[in-house]
Structure formats: C-alpha cells, structure tokens
Amino acid sequence: MTAVDLRVAQRPNAPMTTYRYDEYDSAFVRERVAEFREQVNRRLSGALTEEEFRPFRLMNGLYLQLHAYMLRVAIPYGTLTARQMRRLADIADKWDRGYGHFTTRQNLQYNWPKLVDTPDILESLADVEMHAIQTSGNCIRNVTADHFAGVAPDEIEDPRPTAEFLRQWSSLHSEFSFLPRKFKIAVTGAEHDRAAILVHDIGLRIVKNDTGEIGYQVVVGGGLGRSPFIGKVVGDFVPREDLLAFLEAILRVYNRFGRRDNKYKARVKILVHEKGIDEIRAAVEAEFAAMDRSAFDHDPEEFERIAAFFAPPPYESLPATSASLRAAKLETPAFANFVDVNVGAHKIPGYAIVTVSLKPIGGVPGDATSDQMRVLADASERFGFGELRVSHEQNIILPHVKQDDLFALWSMLDAASLATANAGLVSDIISCPGLDYCSLATARSIPIAQAISKRFSDMSRQRRIGKLGVKISGCINACGHHHVGAIGILGLEKKGQESYQITLGGDPTFSASIGEILGPGVTAEQVPDVVEHLVDYYLAEREEGEAFIDTWRRIGHARFKDVLRREGEDGADI
C-alpha cells in the first residue's frame, strides 16, 4: 500500500489500526475461495473421495461434527474491525442459526453450515478480508497473540506485526502443509503472558537484549491434549531478521522427524519429549546454519511495512483519571462493579481496556447472537476506533475506550445482555463446545459450565473469591484448556455415563503449570458441589492477596484432596 492509500484507509471513526489487505492478499483469498469451490464440486462428483477431500476441507476450516458441519473462521491474532464483526453477524443469519461461538484460539465457529454453502460463506468472508484458511488440518494454524496487544501498560512490543508476518509466511506453505499433526504458534510481547505461549507448539516471547535490540525467545514443544507439556526454550534470543529462517528450521525438523505412526504421538511436543530438548536444539541449529538465508534478506522491510498498519489510533490527550467516571461509579453501583471487574488499565492516560464477557450467568460460554455481534460492532465504532479483539478466554475486548465513555458503553452493553461483570472470576468459565456439538467429545462440557456459573451467581460472592480460572474440556483433546485451569474439569466416559475428572493448580502464564488430578471422576450433578467445597476451603485458608492458585501452591495439593475425602466420609458419594 502506498502512503496515499494509507491515508485514504483512515476514517474518523475507524482509523486503520490493524493490517489491511493489499492486492496480493486479496487475490490470494479469492483464489483460495475459487480453489475450494472446485474442491467441493470434485467431492460431490466423486473425483475426490472423502479421504482425499478431508485434509483440504480441514485446511479451509470445515469440520464434520455431531449434528452438522462446523466452520471455523480465522480471526488472526484475535483482531477484528467493526465491519468484519458485522459480516460475521450477517453470515450467522444468512447461512447459519443466528449465532457464533468464539473459541480458545481467538477464532469463531459456526455450528450449522452446509457443505454446499461453504464456498459462498468463504466468498462473503473474503469481501471483508477474512478467511478460514488453515484453521484446521495438519498445517500451521491461526497465530494467536496477546488480546491486550498495543494497549497494555506492561507491553514491550505489540506482538501483532509479528503474528501477521507469520500468518502470511505460513499461508499455503509448499513444504509445511502436510505435517505429522497440527502446529500452533502464539506470540506475546509483554511482561505478563496473556497468550499462553508456554503451551503452544511454538511460543514466541518478544524480548529486549542488553543493547535494547528486539528479539524473540523461542519456546518449542508446549501443548495440552492427551499428554500436556510445558514448552522448552530452543532459542534464547533470535534477532528479528532471523525469525522466519529459525522457524523454518524448526518446522523442517518437525516435518522430517515428527512421528507419523501414531496420531496421538505426532505433535512436536512428543518429539521434544522423546528426543530431549538438547538434541532438538542441535538439529534446529544445524538446519538453521545450513539454510540459504538469502531468501530471507528482505524480510525486515516487509516486517516494517506490516508493522506500520498497527499504528496507534489518534488518541486524545486526556487526564489520567476521569472525573465523570468517578461520578458515574458513585451513582450506579452495578456500573461501578463492572468497572472494577471488567475494565483494565490502558497505557494511554484517560483510556481503558474493556473486557466484554460472553459468559452470562447460566449462558453458553463464548456464544454471541448475531444481534449481539452488531451491538459489539456499533460499540467499537462509538467508543473504540472500530476495533475489537477476541481473547482465548472466549471474551471480546474493546481496547481503546475513553474512561469518560465507560458509562455510556456499559449502558449500551447492558441493554444487549453483554455487561456481565465477571471477567476473570469463577463464572468466567472457559469451556469447549463438548458433546453438545463436537464429534470428538466424550462428555458434555457446556451444562457443567452453566451449573457452576449458576451456583456462583451471586456477584459479591464472586468478587470475594477473586480471580479463579475454571476451564472445562469435553474430551482429552483439551480444547477447553483444562490442564491450565486453576480448577480444571475433564469430561470422560465411565461405565456408559459422563464422568468428570477434576484437576487443580493449572496456570497458562509465564509461571505455567499443568494441573494435578484431584481424585476419581464425579458425576455431572456432583461437579458444582465439589467446586464449591474447593472454593470454600480456599476462602478459609487463604492469606492476604492470595488468588486460588497461590493458596493451592502454598498449602499443597494433598490438603485439597483431603477436603474431598472428608466430604466423602460425610456420606457424599465422591
């Protein structure tokens, strides 16, 4: 894009704050749609069998699920414009059932598309610079990033230019589209990790060295699922100009040596675990040294071109705190509550980061109706330069709200049932779709989330409990990230019934840890009781300032296991 194009792209209420396609990006997604349209035709005619079609169907995000197909739309690094959010709403109405589900990888899922309609859906997405490319399949998936990118006070560098740079590099890669298994990359650029990089196949942490140069700490082999692992450092400081070459080296080692004999042992985390990080590091470094680096020479220019799109919006000069905000809080307690729980500090004085919870009490976590999507789009234009984020916690972020506007925003959200003040609290549950939708699931997860949410519906009780990450997966694939929940719940099958295994002590941040099993599985009916007993025990034992995970770390897992055992002795059938 030329400088003139950049200015033209900026509109007063929707200045350019994220990447915009140039003619090459647009041509690419159009060609992708045309290719998929032909692939569908060839599938229907039988030129492609289902076995042959399946990888290509998956590489365009289309799954076959329990009741219908499911289309997973990519939302690169979780960033959306208002126009794109409106298009997602329109697609939901035209080709689906009027709602969508925001996922733990910052994407959106439609649960009822028809195969024959999918090329038209992809066409509609391409109109607004969106796609479903590589949201499934044994290829490099959506590159996720910190949902507070660009606005968090603890930020070192906005991770999204890196994520966009990688998104392009990984699109329709000639060599890495038939990997042993899926490959997920996450980028973080702040002092606190909000992108769970340590449980990704590759996690990138933007760091500065002693001379102030920007580089990446590269972590490999993290992952959840059947065998959870925390990633290990394979590159301490990779300078920006070496990043793509270094990643190519890792992917080549994985493509060549990742296991292909057993689907459940095919992720890179298994390769790292079985060979050891030292051997993997040596292999990656050897490959990196042998590569022809001239192919990467001009990447720094391209990176700068991309980075320019993520310029800060035209923030006003405002005082650090807003007098009207203080007044509004005093006048409306429900609003004050919302501000205290869902609103975070912004790096620009007078602004705030707002988390819009998609976890209404008793609701389906992460779901939004098409009307709600339109309200969110409108809200972002009125109060946030037309930009939204999707977090891996299945909530929506408005990253540029003036403190002065918070009350008006809250009123608008409240009218659309989007003002639940529970961000990060016990009812802000992360849950995969589970057996209500997913053909991989072994048990339902959403009703468990709903039951826990209702049990803790009292907001003052939730605030007293404080930050508590409850994460629920409906099967061992762990899409609900239960391994890294302070309280994790895994739905399995036991003797023909749904059975729930509870873990404690998971953490997705830089202090990452995998949760430990509490005891034998419990029934769906017992889950809210168990969670309540655990929370009550925490409240009784905690010291000043301790969140649930802190108390658990201090007093140990055995004491929490005792709680359940004692409950069992009282007659509860645990």
Name residues contacting another protein, limited to 314-353 (CB under 8 A): none
Rounded distance between C-alpha atoms, residue 71 and residue 87, angstroms: 15
- Give the residue among 137, 184, 108, 129 at the shortest CA–CA distance from 39: 137
If one asks whether residue 474 binds another protein (CB under 8 A), the answer comes out as no
For residue 313, the 8-state DSSP code is P
If one asks whether residue 156 binds another protein (CB under 8 A), the answer comes out as no
The residue range among 35-43, 267-275, 329-337, 409-417 that interacts with another protein, by the rule CB under 8 A, is 35-43
- Total interface residues for another protein by CB under 8 A: 75
Q: How far is the CB of 302 from another protein (least distance, A)?
A: 6
3-state secondary structure of 360: coil
Q: How far is the CB of 364 from another protein (least distance, A)?
A: 6
Q: How far is the CB of 427 from another protein (least distance, A)?
A: 16
Would the CA dihedral through 95, 97, 102, 104 be positive or negative? negative
Rounded distance between C-alpha atoms, residue 454 and residue 359, angstroms: 11
Q: Are 456 and 467 in contact (CB under 8 A)?
A: no
3-state secondary structure of 266: coil
Tell which phi-psi region holds residue 263, choosing left (phi > 0), alpha (psi between -120 and 50) or beta.
alpha
The residue range among 37-45, 477-485, 531-539, 566-574 that interacts with another protein, by the rule CB under 8 A, is 37-45
- The count of residues in the chain is 574
Q: Are 36 and 118 in contact (CB under 8 A)?
A: yes
Name residues contacting another protein, limited to 383-422 (CB under 8 A): none
Nearer to another protein, 99 or 229 (CB): 99
If one asks whether residue 301 binds another protein (CB under 8 A), the answer comes out as yes
If one asks whether residue 172 binds another protein (CB under 8 A), the answer comes out as yes
3-state secondary structure of 143: coil
Q: How far is the CB of 312 from another protein (least distance, A)?
A: 24
Rounded distance between C-alpha atoms, residue 463 and residue 168, angstroms: 42
Binding-site member from 8, 11, 13, 64 for another protein (CB under 8 A): 64
The residue range among 168-176, 192-200, 232-240, 417-425 that interacts with another protein, by the rule CB under 8 A, is 168-176
Q: What are phi and psi of 84, to 5 degrees?
A: -65, -40
Binding-site member from 11, 67, 559, 566 for another protein (CB under 8 A): 67
Binding-site member from 5, 154, 175, 191 for another protein (CB under 8 A): 175
Name residues contacting another protein, limited to 302-321 (CB under 8 A): 302, 305
Q: How far is the CB of 250 from another protein (least distance, A)?
A: 12
Q: Are 200 and 186 in contact (CB under 8 A)?
A: yes
- Give the residue among 310, 22, 42, 371 at the shortest CA–CA distance from 151: 310
**Which residue(s) pair with 186 in the sheet?**
144, 203
Binding-site member from 44, 286, 320, 327 for another protein (CB under 8 A): 44
Nearer to another protein, 446 or 504 (CB): 446
Q: Are 374 and 412 in contact (CB under 8 A)?
A: no
If one asks whether residue 435 binds another protein (CB under 8 A), the answer comes out as yes
Nearer to another protein, 307 or 345 (CB): 307
Name residues contacting another protein, limited to 495-534 (CB under 8 A): 496-498
